[in-house]
Amino acid sequence: MVNEEESERDMTAAFENALFQGDERYYVLRLYIAGTTPQSIQALQNIKKICEEYLKGRYELEVIDVYQAPELTVPGNIFAIPTLIKQLPLPLQTLIGNLSNTEKVLVGLDIHPRQHQV
């Protein structure tokens, strides 16, 4: 019979393995927005474009509307909107604003663009 400690270790190992697909890291992102304000809409469009271009198939994006779920701002320590939090891979990273500067977002999230063959 598997004890709880072994089961927990197995689950942790499975989770850690799921974070990597080959040498590719898996990203878990959370975007806090405020309804349909122009800044919120722009941030959502920008991060979706960045994710599809640089992280296709390697990310999870959760969008939280603080008008619909204000209680979710407390655990994330959200003090400005829009805010993007990179939960995985570690370290935790927070970006504030409409995410329009792609290069700064890539650097802030530690995303390394694939090298294009010429």
Q: Which are the contacts of 33, defined by CB distance < 8 A and separation ≥ 6? A: 40, 41, 43, 44, 63, 64, 65, 66, 81, 82
Hey, what amino acid is at 68? Answer: Q
Domain extent listing, the chain:
25-105
Question: pLDDT for 22-78, tens place per residue?
Answer: 557 999 999 999 999 999 999 999 999 999 999 999 999 999 999 999 888 877 688
Hey, what amino acid is at 117? Answer: Q
For residue 86, pLDDT beyond 60: yes
6 pLDDT tier (thresholds 50, 70, 90): low
Tell me, yes or no, if the pTM score tops 0.85.
Answer: no
Residue with more model confidence, 7 or 6: 6
15 pLDDT tier (thresholds 50, 70, 90): low
Residue 38: predicted pLDDT: 96
Architecture field, domain 25-105: 3-Layer(aba) Sandwich (3.40)
- Relative to beta strand 27-33, strand 59-65 is parallel
